Amino acid sequence: MKKLLIVLTVLILVVSCGEEQEGNSKAESTKQQQVENNNLNYEVLKNSRDTSNLTKKENTIDILVKDNISEENLKEVMRKAGKEQIKDADILFIRAYGDKRFFNLGGETHGMVTYYPDGTVKDETYRAKKEIPSDKEKDIYIDYSKTLHETLKAKGNYTKQEEENIEEEINKKIAKKYGISPEEVEKIFDKVVIYQSM
């Protein structure tokens, strides 16, 4: 009788452990699926139709993706955006950004594709990031870029030497504002330029 009770107890423990492991496995699988789906999310920043071409309906969308998205997920999310956003356009240009702050700064940070109604994708450029600048580094770069742009735009034509002098002054001003050296500003600028274009 004791042996029977021991065997039954062991069986109950084995069965309940198996169910618990199965439950844990299902929970892990669900978590992994949620993470995967989260990596495929995007936000439309701008959707604009080009009406200048009378023979084709062209549309351009700018989307926000995760900054640290893998190249595989980037391809998948851009194709997903194409499928969902093509609507009645003949051609859809999709530009991807990993950070809203770079939208309208000139050039998509994460890539561009041309998408067609039949699902064909051409002119693919995917730039998943190996190194992502910190928020502070991005802020310094954007502050520097905007200040330089506004300063150069104010007067118009400059000699090369005048432009270099202006860049040097802005570099010092930004360095002082953020409590870093002008050399650090230059390093940050280079780092963010690489992030933005590669």
Lowest mean pLDDT among 7-16, 21-30, 40-49, 55-64: 7-16
Going from the C-alpha of 83 to that of each of 26, 36, 65, 106, the distances in angstroms are: 30, 18, 16, 25
11 vs 157 pLDDT, higher one: 157
Q: Is the pLDDT of residue 63 over 70?
A: yes
Confirm whether pTM is higher than 0.85: no
Span 149-190, pLDDT tens digits: 999 888 778 899 999 999 999 999 999 999 999 999 999 999
Q: Is the pLDDT of residue 2 over 50?
A: no
Instruction: Specify the residue for token string 């202006």.
Output: 166
pLDDT band at 48 (very low <50, low <70, confident <90, very high): confident
Backbone phi and psi for residue 31, each to the nearest 5 degrees, phi listed first:
-60, -45
> Going by DSSP bridges, is the β-strand pair 111-115/121-126 parallel, antiparallel, or unpaired?
antiparallel
Cβ atoms within 10 A of the Cβ of 145, count? 19
- What's the token pair of residue 149? 């742009």
Residue ranges of the domains in the chain? Answer: 43-126, 135-197
Lowest mean pLDDT among 35-44, 113-122, 137-146: 35-44
Distance CA 176, CA 144 (A): 12
pLDDT value of position 87: 86
Sign of the Cα torsion 195, 109, 116, 91 reads negative
pLDDT value of position 14: 39
Distance CA 15, CA 7 (A): 12
- What's the token pair of residue 11? 């069986």
Assess contact for 151 and 167: CB atoms under 8 A.
Answer: no
- What's the token pair of residue 170? 């802005």
Could you please state the CATH topology (level 3) that the domain comprising 43-126 is classified under: Diaminopimelate Epimerase; Chain A, domain 1 (3.10.310)
- What's the token pair of residue 12? 């109950």
Distance CA 36, CA 78 (A): 15
Closest CA to 67 of 124, 112, 109, 104: 109
Going from the C-alpha of 96 to that of each of 12, 13, 46, 108, the distances in angstroms are: 54, 52, 11, 6
Q: Is the pLDDT of residue 194 over 70?
A: yes
pLDDT value of position 106: 76
